[in-house]
């Protein structure tokens, strides 16, 4: 039986593949191919992309970031809003927990929004969710988001979205 070893190197945008066969005196076969994807993306079959700084960023992380980037709060109208991405990797569901503190005459009161959706993972892809906090009522908000694989309870790609009373958003990757 022949064994085939493949060595792949990527230098300056050219992929060099060398195949070596053992138990045979044949010379290695080399092939130079231009990559089918540029910096910032990998072929469609890949689950990751490479950013210009060389950091590998998974599609799952990208989807969580897409969600995090949609959060808005308008203090004048008191509306908290976000949009669920239209795509989700198979066998995953969104984890989204929306909470915060509201201004009250005698202090503050905590709130939790979208409890049914949160507890049962009932988020609809592509849907815009809106929660009326009340005009100038939000002291602060915290939204924890991520992905949970079916048949698991482990939160993956956890990201926090912090919202202040003026509507400023801070996104924190865990």
Residues 49 and 80 in one domain: no
pLDDT digits (tens, 9 = 90+) for 123-170: 999 999 999 998 889 999 999 999 999 999 999 999 999 999 999 999
Q: Compute the average pLDDT of residues 95-121.
A: 95
Which domain-ending residue is among 14, 35, 58? 58
pLDDT digits (tens, 9 = 90+) for 56-88: 558 999 999 999 999 999 999 999 999 999 999
Number of domains in the chain: 2
Question: How much is the pTM?
Answer: 0.68
Q: Compute the average pLDDT of residues 43-54.
A: 49
Q: What is the mean pLDDT of the chain?
A: 77
Residues 141 and 159 in one domain: yes
Residue 145 structural domain: 59-173
Q: What contacts 24+ positions apart, CB below 8 Å, involve 118-127? A: 121/93, 121/94, 121/95, 121/148, 123/84, 123/93, 123/94, 123/96, 124/84, 125/84, 125/85, 125/86, 125/87, 125/88, 126/83, 126/84, 126/85, 126/86, 127/83, 127/84
């Amino acid at each position: 039986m022949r064994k085939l070893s493949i060595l792949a190197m990527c230098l300056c945008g050219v992929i060099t593949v060398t195949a070596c066969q053992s138990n045979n005196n044949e010379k290695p076969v080399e092939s130079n191919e231009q990559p089918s994807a540029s910096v910032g993306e990998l072929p469609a079959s890949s689950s990751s992309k490479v950013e210009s700084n060389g950091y590998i960023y998974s599609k799952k992380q990208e989807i969580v970031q897409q969600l995090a980037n949609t959060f808005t709060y308008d203090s004048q109208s008191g509306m908290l809003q976000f949009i669920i991405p239209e795509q989700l990797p198979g066998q995953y569901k969104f984890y989204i927990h929306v909470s915060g503190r509201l201004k009250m005459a005698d202090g503050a009161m905590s709130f939790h929004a979208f409890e049914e959706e949160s507890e049962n993972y009932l988020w609809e892809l592509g849907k815009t969710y809106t929660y009326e906090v009340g005009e100038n009522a939000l002291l602060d908000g915290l939204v924890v988001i991520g992905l949970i694989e079916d048949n698991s309870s482990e939160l993956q790609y956890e990201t926090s979205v912090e919202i202040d009373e003026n509507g400023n958003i801070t996104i924190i990757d865990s």
